[in-house]
Amino acid sequence: MKSYNSFQVAQKQILEAVRILNLNKATRNLLIWPQREFKFTLPVKMDDGSVKVFHAWRIQYSTARGPAKGGIRFYPDERSDTIRALACWMTCKTALLDLPLGGGKGGIACNPRDMSERELENMSRAYIRATAPLLGIDKDVPAPDMYTNPQIMAWMLDEYETIVQRHHPGMITDKPLQIGGSEGRRDATARGGVITVREACKALQVEPATFAIQGFGNAGQRAALLHKEMLGGGKLVGVCDSRGGIYNPDGFDVKDLVTYKLTKGTVKGYPGAKVVDRDAILELDVDVLYPAAMENAITEKNASRIKARMICELANGPTTPEADKILNAKGAHIIPDILASSGGVTVSYFEMVQDSYSYFWEEKEVHAQLDKKLTKAYHTVIEAIREKKVDPRMAATVVAVARVAEACELRGWV
């Protein structure tokens, strides 16, 4: 099977959008590379008294539309090209949702599962000491991503405020509520995805009666709960995590399954479920499939066996370009990641706004504003599909690239 460099995939998507929009050469060359890249080595004191050195990055892909915005990942196989790709896609997300933000991403090559809480705190603070001059609500605003969480954001905020000697809660998002976090942030990514599924079902007259979820972390669990709540029912018939997959054609009790996962750390062994290979979850005959795990899960190797009528990409980059072609030819409706998983960054923006004037919204207001943003973005993509005669992913990319390119032109960069 062909291996994929995520950044090369992202660059090809941008180049195709540039071609469709007939943008000039200078704009093309500007948009296919990050504006700023930073590489760090972080010395961190471990519990045994030794010092371990970790490699870390912060990439600011574009600030044409506003401050860079994007998460920080703690991941063993972290690489600069992966972070470049994610920063590029974050730039597209913020533009597609018409947020006054750019895109960025950061990461540390580490295995957080092998580290104690104190070691994680030491590493989190070391990252901020290295990146502090780059960060701020008017510069670059991080957030959690893979294997990071609100507690890690709290440590990072505290380290930053210690350095700058003033309160600056808006410099990082998805913090605990007690120190400037926003209501509605925990389920924002999943809620945004389910909103797009709701709109897609209306537009395509699809009944979301059955669904499956590949990846049962935070986004996958919340999507399972919200699918039933927001779409008036539906059976979750298949789910998997890193340790295995389970299937039940009669549907799972979602709340009970989530409780089991949180208690056991896996869905494997759930009572009354048929054990299946985790990759088989992608191939179930369902109305809606939520890929909510890693990039490149759907490839030319398995795309022809995917039967879902609608695919909502809660993960970043879960579908390879060749798989895209196969799925589109089969008539599957793909809600691309830069739209489907944009609920998180949207509510992060709301958190920045609330932090700026120290007045916080009730959860129902956050949900209402998120619904408004995602609904509008989905229908903007549908219009672009019809106007440009392209598939959903390229339609979303064209809308985003056009907005970033316009900002670059207005600034006199190109």
Q: Which residues are catalytic?
A: 105
Q: Centre a 10 Å sphere on the Cβ of residue 16 and count the other Cβ atoms it contains.
A: 17
Q: Distance between CA 195 and CA 184 in Å, rounded?
A: 14
With contact defined as beta carbons under 8 Å apart, do 281 and 215 qualify?
A: no
Helix (H) or strand (E) segment spanning residue 45 = strand 36-45
Helix (H) or strand (E) segment spanning residue 239 = strand 235-241
Using the 8-state DSSP alphabet, how is residue 298 labeled?
B
Q: Distance between CA 245 and CA 276 in Å, rounded?
A: 5
**CA distance readout (Å), 342 to 14, 77, 334, 396:** 18, 24, 15, 12
Instruction: Output the six-digit token pair for 129.
Output: 């000491």
Please list, in sequence order, all residues whose beta carbon lies within 8 angstroms of the beta carbon of residue 57, skipping any fewer than 6 positions away: 37, 38, 39, 40, 78, 80, 83, 106, 107, 108
* SS3 state at 201: helix
- HSE at residue 355, side-chain half, CA atoms within 13 A, is 27
Instruction: Output the six-digit token pair for 150.
Output: 């609100």
With contact defined as beta carbons under 8 Å apart, do 384 and 390 qualify?
A: yes
Q: Distance between CA 58 and CA 209 in Å, rounded?
A: 42
